[in-house]
Each structure stands twice: as C-alpha cells, then as structure tokens.
Chains A and B, each alone.
Chain A
Amino acid sequence: MYLTKEEERILDGELGNIKAKAMRILATLGDIFNADKLIPIQSTQISGISYKTIGDAGMNFLKDWSDASVVVESRMNPAGMDLENWKQMGVPKEFAKKQLRIVNALTSMGVKKSCTCAPYEAGLVPERGTHIAWSESSAVSFANSVLGAMTNREGGPSALSASLIGKTPNYGYHLVENRLGEIKFKVNFDLNDLDFSLLGYHIGKIAQNRIPVIEGIKKANREQLKSLGAGAAASGGVGMFMVKHITSEYSERDNIEVLNVHQSDLENIVNQFANCSSYDVIAFGCPHSSFKEIKQIIDNVKTTKEIWICTAREIKERALKELKLIPKNIKILADTCMVVAPVKEIGIDCIATNSTKCAHYSQNLSRIKTLLKSKEDLLNET
C-alpha cells in the first residue's frame, strides 16, 4: 500500500512509538487486504471495551497506549457495567475497578465516554457516502446499510489505530464497486417485529461475510432494520445488507444464488434459543434502545417481571427527565448491555429477549440460558 511522506514519517516514529505502531497496524492491514492507500475518516467507534471480553490483556494494552491522543471523533462500545450505577446492577467490585481502568485509559486518549453499540441513536450520525471506521458489528451493519456511510468491520485495535491517525485503509466497503449484493433471499410472508431479528439471524448464518439482498419485504421501519442487521452480524459476518425498495443502496452482482426463506426457518431459531421456561430478567436494548423504543416499552408494560432496557447514557438521561412514571420493575441501564455485562456473576441464569443477537451471545459468550419472544409477548406476560 502506498504511504505518503507524512505517513512514512509517522511510521518511522516522528509522532512517537504508539502512533508509529498505530500506523504500522493500518499499513499492514492495508497490505493484507490489498488497499491502495489510506483515506481520511470522519469518526471511529471502538469495540472491546468490556473487561469481560478483553480481560487483563486488553486492559494492560489500553493502559500502555493511553498517552497517545485521538485526532477524530471517537466513541466506545458498551462497557461491562453502568459506569455510575454498577453497584445496583450487582457487579463485583474487582470487576468494576478494572472496568473503570479501561474506560479511563480511553478517556485520557480523547475517546468520548459515550459507551454505546448504537452511536447513531446518541448524536453520532455519519452522513451518506462518508468514510468511518467502526467496529461494533451491529453498528457497522446499520451505518453501511441504513445510513449509507462506508465502513469495514474493524477490530478494537484497528479502530483505535484509525482514531489515532484519523485514517483507514481503502478496501472492502469503502469502495463502491464492492457494495453489491452477493446472495439473494426471497421472503413471501409478512414479518412482525421479532421476525426481523430472526430473519437477520437466518440469513447471516448462510451469507456469512457476503452481502445479502432481501426481496419481498413490503415495509420496514428503522428499528426493524436495526434488528435485522444485528441478527445477521451476530450469526454470520454480515457487514452490509440490502432490502429491495427500502434501503437506499440496492444493486447486486450478476447470477447470484437465490434462496427462499420459509416461516419454519425462523421457527427453528426460536426453538434453538428456547432452553428455559422461567426467566430471571427480560432484556431489551440489543442493540441499544432509542428514546422512542424506551417510551413505547414503558407505555405498554403489563408484566411485573424485572426488565432491563440497555441504552446510551444520553438517552437514559433524557428518559429519566421526560418519562415521569417509570415502573419499579424497569431498570434503564446506560453504558452497558446484557451481552458484555458479567450476567452470570450477577446471578442471572436465564434471560428472555426479543433480540437474536442477545440470545446468541448469552448462550455462546455468557453461557446462560435463553428464551426468544416478541416484545409484545414479553410486555404482556404475567
């Protein structure tokens, strides 16, 4: 990959050892993925924030890099706890101590302490056609597919490197010619809210890291597309999807494979994640809820079961201010989510959710039991 003279000087250490390593990461990834050059980016979103996922290894790395400063707008993915109300969550003290070290290291680099997997709900909305370097898989999918911004599926260190340099290698989804559907799914039945998450999970498993195009969906709102994208990014490596007549970008390669989706495909996923009958907590907000969704949950809740709604801190603060009557069984948690929080240590054995992404990681990462239901069913259960 071609480096400018200025970039080469950074690689040689002109701006210090850490920026030299950051530049080496970008240059090496550029070489591996056949990028021609580095391109400027508008923002980054950095994953690998929770102590639960990165452990002492990641914590020590971030502490060692904390003297360097970011040069573009940079945000964090969710941490392992609500940074203010972790005691009420039941998070162990030792975990909290290490989690705060991670967040403090990033904050001192200039990364904003807005810990969310959905920065686009919390004021960071990249414009169509702009280049960004985001790493949370559901945010990557939403940014590429719904917002029309351009990002690859970055890892934590590569997104951080992009933050420090302000650039990313030009390959993959940054190139218009690569933003083409590679496998087609036909849907010929109506979808409810949960179905969008199930459909995403189903197509992700098959598409893996190809771009799926979906035909036959009559209408879909922003929340539904968000669920679809998160599901597809969790079961496969889908970084971008297209829905005919709905997403603004819709174009496909010639002679692509076409598959029909059956209702039974979606039922199979519900069954795959149905491994308990009673549950400790209902989890909403995977990906993080918008203000609108929180209001809708509070307006319609009938169950007295404990409910977690995970969201960005900005949205939690707005909800606490504007939504006066929040039932006692509803906990609005900021900065974190049920995927990256130490749920097992908190004492949760089974989680009920409307998100296939939440169910997937609860089972495979947190090793707890799951139940998948629609939001309506969960809110009405007694």
Chain B
Amino acid sequence: MRLKGDMIVPGNVKGITVISLDPISFLGDIDPETGIIVAEKHSLKGESIKNKIFVFSTGKGSTVGSYVLYQLYKNGCSPAGIVNKEAEAIVAVGAIISEIPMIHHVEITKIPHNKEVILNADDGFIEFE
C-alpha cells in the first residue's frame, strides 16, 4: 500500500515504524541520549525511535525541541525518517537541521505499527505491504 504526502526534508529510507497518534514534544518526551520515549503517560513509553520511521500526528511544546532532535542525530539515536499528519515548525526545523527525511499530510491511521516500510520523501510517499 502506498500513502501520499508532501515533502518537508528530502531523502529515501527504509525502516520499522513506531506510531504515536498523540502529538510529540521532543523536549521532555524523548531521551536525547538514547532515543527512548520517556513521557510518563505515553502509550509507547519505553520504546525506542532510534533508526525507526517515527510516525506521529504532529509536534508540540517548547521550540527547544528542534535542538533535541539535533542532539539525537549527533548521538546517533535519531529516527531514520519522520511522517506527520500535519507538520508544525518545531519538528520540521529539527528534521531539516538533522537531515532526517520527512513528509507530512499523510493519513497516519492507515500505517501499521512495528512494520517495515519505505519512506520516499523525494517523491512524497510511504509504502508498505
């Protein structure tokens, strides 16, 4: 199945999905040293986003979140790709400075959790079996 989206950051990657239907604040929700989701009430608490295709509705919270994404990238713990329902400034800026392929305007509820997918940001789609 192929779902269309719009490119934010170019690139083509393959990876396993981690899906969060809740908005993500990179400052506070993700440990920048490990890439593990540490948000207390989050349904995915304890899961890692390192090298994954991180699929979530949108970003929220402090603008420092852009820098946290950069820190994950410097520590080798950033996601391989990002797919949003609706991008906002914090995550988009973080993905640009960290060169993480990213698309948005995707119907994320149709994407399966923990499954291998192809993210082709250049042509604006995510594909899985």
Cα distance, A47 to B64, chains bound together (Å)? 10
Q: Which of B37-45, B48-56, B83-91, B116-124 contacts A (4 or more CB under 8 A)?
A: B83-91
Instruction: Name B96's contact: one of A24, A53, A58 (CB within 8 Å).
Output: A24
B93 at the interface (CB under 8 A from A): yes
Q: Is B79 an interface residue (CB 8 A)?
A: no
**What 0/1 pattern do residues 42 to 70 of A give for CB contact below 8 A with B?**
00000110000111111011000000000
8 Å CB contact of B70 from A32, A47, A60, A158: A60
Q: Which B3-25 residues have C-beta < 8 A from chain A?
A: 6, 8-9
Contacts of A32 in B (CB 8 A): 87-89, 92
Cβ of B74: which chain A residues have Cβ within 8 Å of it?
57, 60
For B63, list chain A residues within 8 Å (CB): 47-48, 155-157
Hey, which chain B residues are within 8 Å of A55, CB to CB?
Answer: 64, 67, 71
* A155 in complex: contacting residue of B9, B32, B68, B90, CB < 8 Å: B90
CB-defined interface of A157-173 with B at 8 Å, one 1/0 digit per residue? 11000000000000000
Distance between Cα atoms of A158 and B63 in the complex (Å): 10
Least CB distance, B73 to chain A, in whole angstroms: 10
The answer to whether A57 touches B70, judged by C-beta atoms less than 8 angstroms apart, is yes
Tell me the dominant secondary structure on chain A's binding face: helix
A53 to B66, CA, bound (A): 12
Is residue A261 within 8 Å, beta carbon to beta carbon, of the partner chain?
A: no
- Nearest CB on A from B10, distance (A): 9
- B83 CB, min distance to chain A CBs, angstroms: 15
CB distance from A88 to the nearest CB of B (A): 28
- Given A25-B97, A32-B88, A158-B89, the answer on whether A58 and B67 have CB atoms closer than 8 Å is yes
Contacts of B8 in A (CB 8 A): 28
Q: Are B71 and A21 touching (Cβ within 8 A)?
A: no
Provide the bound-state CA to CA distance between A58 and B93, in Å: 13
Residue in B68, B92, B97 whose Cβ sees the most chain A Cβ within 10 Å = B97
| Inter-chain contact B96/A25, CB cutoff 8 Å | yes
Contacts of B71 in A (CB 8 A): 55-57, 60-61
Chain A residues with CB under 8 A of B67? 48, 54-55, 57-58, 61, 156-157
Interface size on A, residues (CB 8 A): 21
B122 smallest CB distance to A (angstroms)? 14
In the bound complex, CA of A25 to CA of B90 (Å): 10
Nearest-CB residue, chain A, relative to B66: A157
CA distance A80 to B64 in the complex (A): 15
For A155, the chain B residues whose CB sits under 8 A away are 63, 66, 89-90, 93
- Chain B residues whose C-beta falls within 8 Å of the C-beta of A47 in the assembled complex: 63
Q: Complex Cα distance A61/B65, Å?
A: 12
The answer, yes or no, to whether A83 is at the interface (CB within 8 Å) is no
Interface SS of B by simple majority: helix
Which B residues are in CB contact (< 8 Å) with A191?
Answer: none
| C-alpha gap A21/B67 in the complex (Å) | 14
Within 8 A of B (CB), among A63-85: none
Interface centre among A48, A55, A57, A58 (most CB of B within 10 A): A57
Measured between alpha carbons, how far is A29 from B9 in the docked complex, in Å? 12
Among candidates B64, B68, B88, B97, residue contacting A21 with C-beta atoms closer than 8 Å: B97
A157 to B68 CA separation, bound complex (whole angstroms): 12
Q: How far is the CA of A340 from the CA of B87 in the complex (A)?
A: 29
Measured in the bound complex, the distance between the Cα atoms of B86 and A131 in whole Å is 28
Residue from A155, A156, A158 with most neighbouring chain B CB atoms (10 Å): A155
Q: Is the CB of B97 within 8 A of A61?
A: yes
Smallest CB separation, B119 vs chain A (Å)? 17
A23 to chain B, nearest CB (A): 10
Q: Which single residue of chain A is at the shortest CB-CB distance from B62?
A: A53
How far does the Cβ of A65 sit from chain B's closest Cβ, in whole Å?
A: 8
Q: Measured between alpha carbons, how far is A55 from B32 in the docked complex, in Å?
A: 11
- The CA-CA distance from A321 to B84 in the complex, in Å, is 55
Bound: A48/B62 CA distance, A: 11
Q: Besides A57-B74, A58-B64, A60-B74, 6 other CB < 8 A contacts?
A: A25-B96, A28-B96, A57-B71, A156-B64, A157-B66, A157-B97
Q: List 19 A-B contacts (CB under 8 A).
A: A21-B96, A21-B97, A24-B96, A25-B92, A25-B96, A29-B89, A29-B92, A32-B87, A47-B63, A53-B64, A55-B64, A55-B71, A57-B64, A57-B74, A58-B67, A60-B71, A155-B66, A155-B93, A156-B67
> Contact residues of B with A, CB < 8 Å?
6, 8-9, 32, 63-64, 66-68, 70-71, 74, 87-90, 92-93, 96-97
9 A-B pairs with least C-beta separation: A57-B71, A155-B63, A57-B67, A58-B67, A61-B70, A157-B93, A24-B96, A28-B92, A57-B68
